Structure 1
Amino acid sequence: MAARMNKKRSFLFVSKVLGKHIPVNPHVSLLAGAALGVLYAELLGKRCEVSIDELVQAFTEPETAVNIYSRLMAQRVVLDKPTTFIGFAETATALGHSMYDLFAGRTKFLHTTREIINELESVISFEEEHSHATSHRCYAVDPELFQDDAPIVLVDDEMTTGKTALNIIRELHASYPRQTYVVASLLDWRSAADRAKFVELEQELGIAIPCLSLLEGSIEVTGQPVLSEREQASQHTTSTAVVKTIELGAEFEHRIVTSTTPDGFLNDKPYLAGTGRFGLLQSDNLRLEENCTAAASILRQERQGERTLCLGTGEFMFVPMRIASLMGEGVLYQSTTRSPVHPVKQTDYAIQSAYSYPSLDDPAVTNYLYNVQHGMYDDVFIFIEREVRNERIEPLLRIVKGLGFVQVNLVMFTSQP
C-alpha cells in the first residue's frame, strides 16, 4: 500500500508483479498478463500448458518464471473466435499485451493512450475518473479492428469501483455493439454496490460482462487525502557514470505520425509500430518477437555488471519488458510513471524513494521514478520510444547519474534517416 497524491483517490495498491513502481524479474511481469490469459482460457473451457497455481508460485519464486514462461509460449492457446484485447494506459499497456500474447488465432490487440496524435482520429474516447490524466484515446489504424461482433477483453491492473471499465463498455457498445465484454484485472476490489452496476449494465444493454481477477476482496478507506509536497529522495551529486546512447531503430518497424502536447509542443519523430498503440494483429507477433530478440542481443553485449536495471518510460512498457527478459540473468525491470505517490522510508511501506522530472514527451506532465536506491545496480538501460531533444532527457539523466550506476545507457528506438 502507498499514499497517492490525489484528492479523488487517496491510496494506491502497489503491485509486486506489474513492473511499474517496484523492480521485478521481467518474466514475472510477463507471467502476470499470461495468468489473466489462463483465467480467460479456463472461462472458455480451454486447456493451458501451465496451471494458474504454477503461475502464482512463480510470483514468489521468480527463479522458476523463465521456464514457466517458455512452456506457456511454446503452447499458445488457440481461440475459436476473433477476439480483441485492450490494455488501459498507462499502467496496463504491458499487462494487456502479455495477456494477448498467450493466445493464437484471430486475435487483435490495442492499448489506450493519453497522447494526442494529429493524423489519426480516436475510434473511441473515455474517461478514467479517479486518474491524474483522465482521458483515454484509441488510435486503431485498421478501421476494421472493431468491425465484428466477437468478444472484447478489457485489461487493467486493478478494479476498485469498475467505473473505468463501465465507461469504455458504454462507449464501445454505442459504436461497435456485441454480446460479450470481458474485464480482466490483477485485483478486484469492487463493493456489492459496484458489482450491481455491472449487472445493471448487462441488463440495460443485453450483454454479458464476465470479470476475471487473480485476487478479489473488499476494502474500506478512512481519513483524508494527503496533498502536500512529497519528500524527494536525497541526490548524490558526484557521479562517474559513463553515459552511452544505443540506437535500436534499425531493428524495429515504425509508424510516422506527429503528436501534440496540450501546451502545443509538436513531436514528428516516429513511434514504434509494434507497441499496440495503433493496433496489432496475430500476424504481427512473430516479427515483433524477432525484433526484441535482436535488440536484446545487442544490449546484452553492453552490460557492465551482474546487476542491471531496465527502465521503461510511461506507456512504453511491453517492448522494454520483453527485451529485458532476453538479456540474461541479474536483470530487473520497472517503468517510470505519472502517478504521484508519497515515499516513506519504512519497511512495510511500498514506496521507499521517489524522484520527479518533467516527462520526456510533455514537460507540462511530471513523471516519477520510484524505489531505485543508490548503488543497487551496476548499470541501467533507459528505453525511450521516440527521439526527443537532449534538454528534455537531461532532468531524468541527472537523476540516474546520481544513483551510482557504472554506466547509463539511453536506448533509442527512432529509425535513422
Structure 2
Amino acid sequence: MRYTDIAIIGGGLAGSAAAAMLGRTGIAAVLVDPHEVYPPDFRVEKLGGEAQLARFRATGLADSVLRKATLAGENWIARFGCVLDKDPSPQYGILYDALVNALREEIPPEVERIVAKAVAVSPSEDRQSVFLSNGETISARLVVLANGLNVGLRHALGIVRRIESAAHSISIGFDIAPLGRSSFPFPAMTYFQERARTRVPYITLFPLRDRMRANLFAYREVGDPWLRAVRRTPVAALDAVLPGFRRVAGDYAVTGEVKVRPADLYVTAGHRQPGLVLVGDAFAATCPVTGTGSDKVFTDVARLCNVYIPQWLASGGMGEAKIAAFYADPLKRACDAWSMRKAWQFKSVSVELGPYWLAQRWARFGVSLGRGLKHRLARVNPSAGGAHSSSSSSSSSSLSPSA
C-alpha cells in the first residue's frame, strides 16, 4: 500500500499540469498513467491569445513549457481571398504529446510517477483506495480523475457522460508546404469560410518548428464522403470548400498523414462523490473549433491546485460537501458555461442559412476589417493606439483550446 495525499489518475494535459503544480507546493502526490512518455495524440496543437495564455500562466507552468513551442508573433486573418487583418496576437504551435511531455518535465522528483492503469477506485469520506493494473494499491486523501475520454473507470463509480451533441464537429490536421517558394507569405494565418453551405468554418495555419501545420474544421457527419476525399485528395477537397484560400496562401501541397477526429459535446452526471474530483475532459468536453478546451483545463487545474486542495488538506475528511466547493467555483462555472455557449454559437453562425445568421457573418467580417484597419494605423503611427487586441478563439487557438 502506497500512502499519499493526492492520487492523480491520468497524465494528459490536466493530470500532468496538476502533478507539476502540487509538487511545486510540496503537497504529496502520485501520478498514475500507463505511458512513461506520452504518445502522439491528435488533440491540442496550438495555444495563443492573451486570455488563454493568462489562464495558462495562472498554473505557473506556462513560461517553461512555451519555450518548447514555436512562436508566431502575428496571425493573418483572411476571407474571400483577401487579408482582412494582421493580428499581433501571439500563437504557439506545439503538438499535444510534446505539450504534455513538456509539462511532465516540470513535475518535481518528489511526485512519484507510476506507469500503470487505475482499474478501480473505492471512495470514502476519509481515504480513497486506488487499485492499479500492476497489483499495487494507493491510499490517498483525494483522487483527481484526469483521465480524459477514458470512461470505464468513471462508469464503475456511477459517473456517467451525457452527450449533448454527438460528433458536434470534426477536426482535421495535416502538414502543409508551399510549392515553388521556400515559405508562405504569413507567419500564421486563419482563413474563414466563404459559404455556410460548405459547413467548413475555417482553417488555421501555424508554424511547428521547421514546418507549417494546418488545422481544418468541419461541421459534418462522420460518414460524409467529403471526409474521405480530404484523406485521399486533401488539396482538391480544400480548394472545393475554400476556393479563395489559394489566393492568399499560394500554391501548396499537403504532406504527411491527414488526421481526422470527431468531437462530442458532453457533460458529466453522478460526479458529486466523496474523495473524488474531476478535471478537464473527464468532467466535460467542448468543441475544438472554438479553441476553448485548453482554457477549461487551465482554469480547472489552477483553481483546484491553487485554491481548493490546500484548503481541503488543512482539515480532516474529504466529504462530498467539501468537493462540491470546487464544482461551484465561480471562475470554473463561468469558464465551463462560456465554453459550452461558444460551441453552440460558433456552429450556428457557421452553418445556419437564415437572414439573422447571414447578418452575423457579415458583422464578424466587418469587425475583422475594423481590427485590421486599427492594426495598420498602429503600425504606421504607434501613438495612434495599441497595436494589440484580443483575438477571436478561432484565430488564436485551435483543437482544444479562447474568447
**Is the pair's TM-score, using the shorter chain for normalization, greater than 0.5?**
no
Question: Which entry has the higher C-alpha Rg, 1 or 2?
Answer: 2
TM-score range, shorter chain: under 0.3
| Higher helix proportion | 2
After TM superposition, the score normalised by the length of structure 1 is: 0.24
Which one scores higher on RCO, CA 8 angstroms, separation ≥ 6?
2
